[in-house]
Structure 1
């Protein structure tokens, strides 16, 4: 399959759900987000998939629980926004909002853009931001 292991991903999400860290809907969206990227890019680096899935599932769960998160460091965000992968990342974030059924807070979108850019760079053989 190249890169990440689907069984390991399922196990990780199962542990997060059973531990009450994430809700099932958030885990499903995170898994489907990875499937979308796999369909587009073929290869996805396992370490980045793991970080991305965990962040996305916990971020959506935080929203469901009405918890908030601060913004990422501005210099990191500026660097990510300057990459050629930002447009692809923003399209995927739009898909997440559609699946979730509501717009995400700006701070969550910023963090997700960082994770998406890192994942897309890894898929295309580039260095992480």
Structure 2
């Protein structure tokens, strides 16, 4: 497989940086202009994964509103919701749950992660009462 042109690689790098830094408006504009909402880097991390892991709820909401796959796992089997639970990003957890993220997606799951770190408050969001 051939490498993408330098300009494409540079653009992708900038878009991933926008996700990491939470530049929601610019990120949304790029997706609206045609950047794939589920674009992945060489580790399988999506824009949503990076925004979630770095605690940027507005970017998460912008991406999910544009159809980002909330349960897409990276190359290590990690899902965005579990990453947000691990990082203690409560607003991101809520944004992902509101967007329909599966708390049992990935490994470890968001539920397992919340239990591991004693986040009973997040478990109430992740596991509906029976």
The TM-score with structure 1 as length reference comes to 0.28
Could you say which structure has the larger radius of gyration?
Answer: 2
